[in-house]
Structure formats: structure tokens, C-alpha cells
Chains A and B, each alone.
Chain A
């Protein structure tokens, strides 16, 4: 699957959680920049799973620190 449209759509899915209205980029960090807590991450992950019809196992979440890494993971999971 093409990464560019995945990344573009991810930004749209993340925007509602962007409470501080910061500029989103590849290197934007969920914990440090967006300050998402674990419960908010849960909501975002569920939305991503539905968008691409994938399961994102909890085990991989700690390694996905930035939007770019998340985009890579979605592409990989979608296969």
C-alpha cells in the first residue's frame, strides 16, 4: 500500500486529538508533542483500526512514538 495517502489520512485522524493545535509532521511525538495519555491513544488506535480494517496489537504501540512511525506501521500491517 502507498504510504503517502496513509500519512495524509492519519493526519486527519489525529487532528481531533491535537488539543494544543500544534503543526503535525513526521517527527511529531504522541507523548511529548501531542501529550496524549494512554486512554486517548486507545481511542486513536481504535479509529485507525477501523479506517484500514487492521488490528494493531498492543504489543507494538510502545515502539510507535511518532506520526511517521505510525504511518510505517499501518502500511506494514495493511500488507
Chain B
């Protein structure tokens, strides 16, 4: 018998090699207690969370929790069914209405995760004979959506408008085309030049889908995302988002003004062949989305702490992934895997949790310690975070010298 898992031996060896250096497992962190959107107990130590995507700090919001408890009691623990059969309850309709109100769109479709929203939208919109043109740094869920579908997939260099233009120009004029972009790219935290890219897509008669997972709540007048900030609301055809970041729970969605959008519910497998969200989750999401519509103070604070962390780490001599703070993702560049894991480990020992990111999740050759800020962080938290980054670096230097 061929052991099907033996093809993963190189990964097993690499992971073991990593752990043998005596570091915490960057992929095995356990939070034994979660104290707030920015604090948890890890390895018995109270830790500042700086890598959770909990942008608007909604996870412990009183109204959100109350809405969830009420729905849990009234509708039970789960829907036990697909949205198109027995799995649509009042809270599912209510959260879709909240999305329509938030985005000002005619339609909103909720999926069970953001990953499934991309899987469903990408694989269903572009079919056989159509073309998908996507940014090379697109999220795994977008790539997987391409694999699930039957369209031809063409990739352009990250955020490169000319590259996009060239590739679109090589496609048959009459073919169906979908250009897929993201407002904020989650690895480096850089934002896309959507104005130019959407204009190029229009020039070639392509439809556009923008994933705004990392921008909801704090980009644009209504917090709709980078596309709103850049004035593209009447230009972008489909917007995909998630409840797992700013909304503070789990779930995914797509919104659109396309008159035929609703038909996707009946033809999209990742929507119809899976159970709907638990009603309590839908209710927490609804409560959270409605509060995000007026969360100006949280927004302002999120930007303030993000800018301050970028400035603080830069002043402390860290190499930043973006020259200026472009989003609430503030990433530090490190030279290689060994130094990245070592620093990540030291940070955790100093009570800081951030994300360790490496290829292929990151672009080629890029190793990152990725921080994401929350509106629940204070400016004083940022001072502590920066000082612990400095202390962690010093501990490493001392160890090396020893």
C-alpha cells in the first residue's frame, strides 16, 4: 500500500526541524482564555494580541453578544441545512438586509465563510470559455475558486496596472472576462490602485470583483472599503467580504447591484451544498454590521493606532513592508525563515502575539511578522508593543552573542 501521506514527508521534516530549535510552534498557538479583543492568555501568560484581524474590536461588544444569545435561545444551535432548503431563518434574512443597508446595494448573499464566498463567486461567475484575470498576490480562496471553476485563468503582476492592461488586451474581445482585485492585500498591508485598475477593466469590457475583506468598516465614507474611498461604487460589479475580521464573527458575503445577482443562490455550489451559518452567528453579524455603520470613533482610533505602530516600529529601526501605513496591517520584513521564527518566538515570550508569514502565503522570498491593529487597542498599548519588539530583538542579540 502506498501511504498517501508520505508525500508530506518534506513538510513533516521541516516542521520538526523548526520545533527542534526550541521555539513555540507558530502554527500551534492556543489561547486558553480570551480576555478582550486585544488580550488573551497564551502559555499561561497574558498576551497582547496584534495579529487577529479583529479590526473594529467587535467580538465582545455587549449588543453583539446579546443578539447572539437571544438568537441562540430562540432559533437553536444550528440550522442543520442549506440556505436553499431548510437553512434560512429570520436572522439570515436580517443579516442580508443589514449588508444591503451597509453597502447600499440591491442584493446581498451570505455564505458560511469568506473563503466559501470567494470559492462560490469566482467559480460560478466565470465559466467555460470565460476568462479570469487576477492579481498574482490574490488570496488562496480566490485561487481555489479558479481551480473549482472552468474558466481560463490569467495572472498579472501584483498591483501592476500596465500588466493588467496588457493581459486583458491579449484576450478575445468578445469573451466574458472577470477581473479580480482586493482593496487591501493582507500580506504586506498595501492597498490597490483600484481607480486605474477598474478603468482598465472597463476599457476591455471586463466585469470586476473586489474582495474588501481587510477594509470593511474603516475605508470610505460608509466604511464599505477601498473601492468606496476611491469613488468606484457605480463601477465595481461585485464586492466580496467576510464576517471574520471587522464584523468579529464568522461568515462571508457578496453584494451587488446586478439585476440578475439573486440567481447565484440557485447555481452556486459553495452556497447551496453546505449548511447555513448558525442563526446565533447570523444575529451577531447583523448586530455588529449595524453598529459599524456609525462607528466613527472606533474608525478614528484604528487609524491612529495603526499609524502610530508603523511610525514606532520604523523609528525603532525595523524594516517595514510598506513605506507608509496604508491599512490596519502593519508588517515587518525579516531576511529569512530562521530569523523570522526566532523573533516571533521571542515576541510571544514577551507577551506579544503577531502572525508569522512566509512563502507561499507571502510573495516570493518575503518573510514577515505581520501585525494587525484593532480599534480596541489604545495608543498606550502601541507604546508597549513597540517596546516589546525592541526588547525581543535585544534578547535575540544577547542569545546570539552568548
Contact = CB atoms under 8 A, between A and B. Distances in A.
A50 to B, nearest CB: 8
A55 B170 contact: yes
Contact of B359 (A39, A56, A58): A39
Interface string B357-395: 001100111000000000000000000000000000000
A51 interface: no
A39 B364 contact: yes
B171 interface: yes
A63 to B, nearest CB: 14
B65 interface: no
A42 interface: yes
A21 interface: no
Chain A interface extent, by class: 10 to 19
Interface in B136-181: 136, 146, 152-157, 163, 166-167, 170-171
A42 B170 contact: no
Contact of A42 (B136, B167, B171): B136
Residue of B155, B167, B170, B171 with most chain A CB atoms under a 10 A cut-off: B155
B360 A53 contact: no
A38 B137 CA distance: 12
A55 B167 contact: yes
A58 B170 contact: no
B364 A40 contact: yes
Contact of A55 (B154, B363, B364, B365): B154
Given A46-B157, A54-B170, A59 B152 contact: yes
Interface string B329-371: 0000000000000000000000000000001100111000000
B364 A58 contact: no
Contacts of A58: 146, 153-155
A56 to B, nearest CB: 8
B94 to A, nearest CB: 39
A49 B168 CA distance: 12
A43 interface: yes
A38 B170 CA distance: 24
A37 interface: yes
Contact of A37 (B163, B170, B359): B359
A38 B167 CA distance: 20
Given A46-B157, A58-B146, A58-B153, A39 B360 contact: yes
A50 B365 CA distance: 22
Interface string A43-79: 1011001100111111100000000000000000000
Contacts of B171: 55
A57 B152 contact: yes
B153 A59 contact: yes
Contacts of B157: 46
A53 B155 contact: no
Contacts of B167: 49, 55
Contacts of B166: 50, 53
B154 A38 contact: no
Interface in A20-46: 37-40, 42-43, 45-46
Contacts of A42: 136, 155, 364
A38 B146 CA distance: 16
A24 B202 CA distance: 42
Contacts of B155: 42, 45-46, 58
A38 B360 contact: yes
A10 B166 CA distance: 21
Contacts of A59: 152-153
A6 to B, nearest CB: 17
Interface string B39-73: 00000000000000000000000000000000000
Contacts of A45: 155
Contacts of B170: 53-55
Interface of B: 136, 146, 152-157, 163, 166-167, 170-171, 359-360, 363-365
23 contacts: A37-B359, A37-B360, A37-B364, A38-B360, A39-B360, A39-B363, A39-B364, A42-B136, A42-B155, A43-B364, A46-B136, A46-B155, A46-B156, A46-B157, A53-B170, A55-B154, A55-B170, A56-B154, A57-B153, A58-B146, A58-B154, A58-B155, A59-B152
Ranked 9 nearest A-B pairs via Cβ = A39-B364, A58-B153, A57-B152, A55-B154, A55-B170, A39-B359, A55-B167, A46-B157, A57-B153
